[in-house]
Amino acid sequence: MTKPDPPQPAHREGTLRSRSFVGLVLTQFLGTFNDNMLRWLVVPIGQQIPNLGEAGSLALGGICFTVPYLLLAPAAGSLADRHSKRDVIVGCKVAELAIMLLGIATILTGNIWSLFAIVMLMGAQSALFSPAKFGSLPEMLDLHHLSKGNGVMGLATVVSSALGTVAGYGLYSLTQPDIAKGVTMATFWPAAAALLGMAIAGLAMSLLIGREPAGNPTRKMTINPITETIPALKLLWSDGPLWRAALGVAFFWSMASLAQLNIDRYGGESLGLQPMWIGVLLFVLVVGVGSGSVLAGYWSAGRVELGLVPLGAMGIAISSFLLFAAGNWIDGATDVSTREGFMLSSLILLVLGVSAGLFNVPLDSYLQSRSDIRTRGTILAGSNFVAFAFILLSCALFWFLHDFLYLTPAQIFMVAGLGTIPVVIDAFRVLPDITMRFLFWLSSRTIYKVRVVGDENLPEQGGALLVANHVSFMDGVLLMGLSTRIIRFLVWGDYSNMFGLRWLSKTMRVIPIKSTDGPKAIVHSLRTAKEALMEGELVCIFAEGQITRTGQMQAFQPGLMRIVSGTGCPVIPVYLHGLWGSIFSFKGGKFFWKRPRKWPYPVTVVFGEPIAEPESASQVRQAVEHLGVKAMEYEKPNQVIPVRQFIRQCKRTKSKVKFADSSGLETTGARSLIGALAFKRVLERNVFTKDEDTVGLLLPPSVGGALANLAVSLSGRITANLNYTLNDEVLNYCVRAAGIKHVLTSRRFLEKRPCHITDAEVVYLEDLKEQVTGADKAAAALCTYAMPASALERSLGLHRVDPDDVCTIIFTSGSTGEPKGVMLTHANVGSNLNAIEELLSPPPDESVMGVLPFFHSFGYTVTLWFPACSMATGVYHYNPLEARMVGKLSQKYKVTMLFATPTFLKTYTKRITPEQFSHLNLAIVGAEKMPLSVAKAFEEKFGFEPTEGYGTTELSPVAAVNLPPSRCLNTVQSGCKLGTVGRVLPGCSAKVVNPDTHEDRGLNTEGLLMIKGPNVMKGYLNQEDKTAEVIHDGWYNTGDIALIDDEGFIKITGRQSRFSKIGGEMVPHLLVEQELMRIVDSPNSENGSDEMPALSVAVTAVPDERKGERLIVLHRKLSKPVEQILKELSDAGLPNLWLPTADGFLEVDEIPILGTGKLDLRALQQMALDAFCSKSTSSDQTNHSSASADQNESGATVAATNQ
């Protein structure tokens, strides 16, 4: 019993299902069964010897079986080392067959004393068999299966022992051999057949074992037990840990022997039981040992878990004392007391057996795994000698205590308990940290369902610094339990000195650190951690310095570099996924006082590849962030797809308003599900064909549009919401590209926005509504109110939908060419929904304003599926520019969340009153950069600051977000940084690369932004080549130029397509544009209308023979002369190459924009080319632009036309 050293690499890569292991287990089972069957057949016969007595017969039988283990230990060890262990095992089984023949002959001849010699021969056979048996386990099993293998062997041993004992007594009762009268084969043949049959079967099973080379074929055979046992014991003694383990194994077997001998007396004398019920007590003990052995193998979790040893010893001691108490409490003269005593004793014996199994299996595994393969046989033989010496002593002790001191069986159990106390104390003294580590593992596995990925990256020896994200108070407990080695943690000083934790901190040798103690104390803590690394220990630091309060990973502190620098030790990045939201996290602003969402709570821990020499703490942070993507990959198969979440949420919120729109239509959770199910039945009966996969929808954001989408998804088909702001030619191209046969729309809608679909059948919702029958409504209501959600999902076939199946197709705007169909999977959409739930912690009364159309990925994911899958209410209006209606709806439904573009936000700031937005506390904008003036005006009017997010259609759409201060329930950490689009979502990762070579540029350097995560689209519809252009090894090329700072915040500095190469230098249009807008500051119309706010200036480029390209500024009527504008641009500090020329200004009536307020880049450039270049050049340039600018249109056109 000691701290485990690294195991030596001598293990065969095998599992518990390998032929060799199965053969060994069956051989062990049959052999042990036969040993005990013969032994307990002989012991009752031996009681026929005059003056020997029952106790004497039991003790003598035990001694005869045990002595050979002492005498043959050297020979057994040398045999197992010198020869293939398989050969030794087969030879022992042949010997067993011969011994059985001798035993049968001895009984038939009536030589009663010779029977004990036969028992001794069986002991000799078992003694030679044992080192080969246990020594072969590490040769046929890998280390991860070794403890489980020992558990299975332990189970096979105790079960076969019990069954063999019962069979031995049974054969004695059946054949009734009376030596005095003589025994004949006519009456004894059942016993003879059983003994020989088991021996032959065991020999046959031994042949299944594969042959492995001998561990030390040059070793000499040793036979002399005196001269050779001492060297074996010296070899054990020289290795303190192995010697302690051998003593532990010996203690286990001595206790097992004592318990086996004492139970017979305990049941009869203390409990007053009949012999049959005494056998049940023994059987219960055996079941306990077997269960404990298997449990030890399971709890060892693929390693040698010595932390079980002190706990097992404590269980043995407590159980022994309880048996003493039960034996003294029972009055054997009354039936009631006897019955209660039997039940109580059975329970205690079960616990005793389980404790013994937990105690023994790790010790056996440790002896096997740590011993040198060349001397393993000798080590195991020496261990057997010690074990059976203890067994012999226990037999003698039982005889002495019972027959000479006349102790009752209950008192003998008390003596056993007292003898176990020193073992308990010594085990806890030697293994305090390993015991606590196991308790951490057990507690974490009780609370969490843990998936571990990459634990092979933890070094088996040598120092390493583990750097992990910090999500909850259980992070350290979880990590400690996952390592086979002790990990020393850097812990906040106040925690390590708390009452009740001080002893634990000292035991686990944590390294306290506290910033308020001053620089010297911090340096001391970091130096202590560094010294631990140099001494070959594992050290873990949560480099954020505190538990996250936002759900996002915070900046890593530079102290980790002070620890690892100059040590030569690697950094192991670790990502903890799934702990945010557990009761030990700060989600919702509360610690602990939360109701667990699941039990056990699913958690994934990913260990990354070692980083040899990290350059900075930020580099390590990025490595940890990248691991989050891998964690999400493993979580995907268990993900509940959005449409199934919709069903479950509607059943939870049957009476709460789920959807509402400006027409006055409202549906509760129950009515929404009923409507969607009834609608689905009509569509499947009257519209859809069996081979129809994709269904088109041409509907505005509304209750009807939401239910139509949900009905299609419930049918297991793909939705394709069509962009009704496109012209008919492009619209029909999308229909053809997606293979759409039917398009669902509304006559009322088409009256306001005429669209002519020629390549698919148009189906009107008004007509479908008339086709809904009473049976449809009744069936839908029955499913909603009476059928469990799981049963409903199965009846709809939704349990067969793979998360990687396509959920929807969203077409880009086609502003630079033909639209591309972006295929988003159920996992893509679900990952965004999960991120919203994790980061924003929506309350039950959440209400979302849905003004973004469903053909926009943000509108589809966030304003359709988020309220559908949560407790939030979705409130819809078809025109985002009708600010007065948006304000009226917001006030009526107490809207709390708004997702829009800065352009729309500008309109709402002007047209909506503070009373109408009085409940609004979250406004996230995207699609374009938010001017500071817009943010400031919104905050001044409505009392909170809008924040920016980032995404593209190809990213489902959200990739990064600033957490609004209004939703941050603490002031300790910030999830928002002005001028950035925030941090990536949990489970996603971002990096910037060289636009030309795609080499990683690290942090704080501009480059092409790449995103990886569960939100990355499946690909472009029928365009594998274009998919391959933008997705490389899971990384999506956003086409945006950005930089990532040390805290993980992303700052977008421009689009790759909005850069010009002028005189060899890359000039960003966006930065020049921002300065121009600041200078021009042209106010929008104040006529009170709800028209789209007009942009005043935009920058593009045209070819230039001298410099490659030149900047062109398109503008509406300016309030300042061009010369003054250029002067102010120069005064702003822009480089000369970035300044447009005076003749590069072009006045236009309107700046071309999309419905979102985003620039229509294709139209913008075309206007510049028409004005400044020839027609042919214009055509070539437009084609070139189409290849890049259309990439990653983030949902393209967001708004419907003004109605």
Question: What angle, 0 to 180 degrees and rounded to 10, lies between the N-to-C axes of helices 335-370 and 240-265?
Answer: 160
Tokens 């009846």 sit on residue: 795
User: Looking at this protein, which amino acid is placed at residue 840?
Assistant: L
Superfamily of domain 639-801: ANL, N-terminal domain (3.40.50.12780)
Please report how the helices 240-265 and 275-299 are oriented relative to each other, as an axis angle in degrees rounded to 10: 160
Model confidence at 12: pLDDT above 70: no
pLDDT at 970: 60
Give the pLDDT mean for 254-270. Answer: 83
How many distinct helices (H) and strands (E) make up the chain? Answer: 40, 33
- The domain ranges of the chain are 19-212+223-425, 434-638, 639-801, 1057-1189
Distance CA 174, CA 187 (A): 9
Q: Tens digit of pLDDT for each residue in 964-990?
A: 877 766 656 778 888 899 999 999 999
pLDDT attached to residue 1192: 39
Calpha distance 891→1085 (Å, rounded): 26
Residue pair 902/1077 in contact by the 8 Å Cβ criterion: no
- Specify the 3-state DSSP secondary structure of 657: strand
Long-range contacts, 609-615 (Cβ 8 Å, 24+)? 609/454, 609/457, 610/457, 610/459, 610/464, 610/570, 610/571, 610/572, 611/570, 611/571, 611/572, 611/573, 612/570, 614/561, 614/564, 614/571, 615/1002
pLDDT of residue 536: 93
Of 111-115, 470-474, 1112-1116, 1147-1151, the poorest mean pLDDT is in 111-115
Q: Which of 145-159, 418-432, 480-494, 656-670 has the highest mean pLDDT?
A: 656-670
CATH fold label, 19-212+223-425: Growth Hormone; Chain: A; (1.20.1250)
Check pLDDT > 50 for residue 1196: no
* Contact call for residues 914 and 887 (beta carbons, < 8 A): no
| 3-state per-residue secondary structure call for 730-752 | HHHHHHHHHCCCEEEECHHHHHH
Tracing tokens 């119309």 back to the chain, one arrives at 1085
Range 1076-1096 burial, b when 16+ CB lie within 10 A, else e: bbebbebeeeeeeebebbebb
| 511 pLDDT more than 70 | yes
Bridge partners of residue 761, in order along the sequence: 742
In sequence order, what are the beta bridge partners of 1146? 1114
Q: What is the average pLDDT score of the chain?
A: 85
DSSP letters spanning 142-192: -HHHHHHHHHHHHHHHHHHHHHHHHHHHHHHHHH---TTT---HHHHHHHH
Query: For every residue of 62-117, which 3-state class applies, written as one string?
Result: HHHHHHHHHHCHHHHHHHHHHCCHHHHHHHHHHHHHHHHHHHHHHHHHCCHHHHHH
Mean per-residue pLDDT, 1104-1114: 84
- How much is the average pLDDT of 271-288? 79
Instruction: Give pLDDT tens digits for 788-804.
Output: 999 999 999 999 999 99
- Strands of 535-598 (E only): list them: 538-542, 571-577
Each residue of 114-145: pLDDT tens digit?
A: 878 888 888 888 888 888 887 788 888 877 77
Look at 8-17, 227-236, 506-515 and tell me which has the smallest mean pLDDT.
Answer: 8-17
- With cut-offs at 50, 70 and 90, classify the pLDDT of residue 2: very low
pLDDT at 1100 over 60: yes
Q: What are phi and psi of 692, to 5 degrees?
A: -90, 115
* Residue in this structure with the two tokens 């990762």, named with its chain if needed: 989
Which stretches of 753-788 are DSSP H helices? 765-771, 774-785
Beta-carbon contacts of residue 1087 (< 8 Å; ≥ 6 apart): none
Q: Which pLDDT score is estimated for 849?
A: 96
* Model confidence, pTM: 0.76
Asked whether the beta carbons of 427 and 245 are under 8 A apart, the reply is no
Alpha-carbon span 164 to 158, nearest angstrom? 10
Q: What is the largest CA-CA distance in the chain?
A: 133
Residues linked to residue 661 through DSSP beta bridges, in sequence order? 876
pLDDT at position 885, please?
95
Q: Which of 833, 936, 976, 905 lies closest to 1198 in space, CA to CA?
A: 905
pLDDT above 90 (res 106): no
Q: Check whether 7 has a pLDDT greater than 50.
A: no
Share of the chain above pLDDT 70, in %: 89
Architecture of domain 1057-1189: 2-Layer Sandwich (3.30)
Contacts of 608 (CB under 8 A, 6+ apart): 454, 457, 572, 573, 574, 575, 623, 624, 626, 627
Contacts of 224 (CB under 8 A, 6+ apart): 74
Is the pLDDT at 1092 greater than 70? The verdict is: no
pLDDT at 70 over 90: no
Q: How confident is the model at residue 402 (pLDDT cuts 50, 70, 90)?
A: confident
358-390: per-residue pLDDT in tens?
Answer: 998 899 888 877 777 777 767 877 787 888 788
The β-bridge relationship of strands 464-468 and 1059-1062 is: unpaired
Q: How far apart are the first and last CA of the chain?
A: 81
211-225, 297-311, 1079-1093, range with the lowest pLDDT: 1079-1093
Q: Residues 614-626: pLDDT tens digits?
A: 989 989 999 999 9
pLDDT of residue 1084 exceeding 70:
no
| One-character DSSP codes across 397-454 | HHHIIIIIS---HHHHHHHHHHHHHHHHHHHHHH-HHHHHHHHHHHHHHHHEEEEEE-
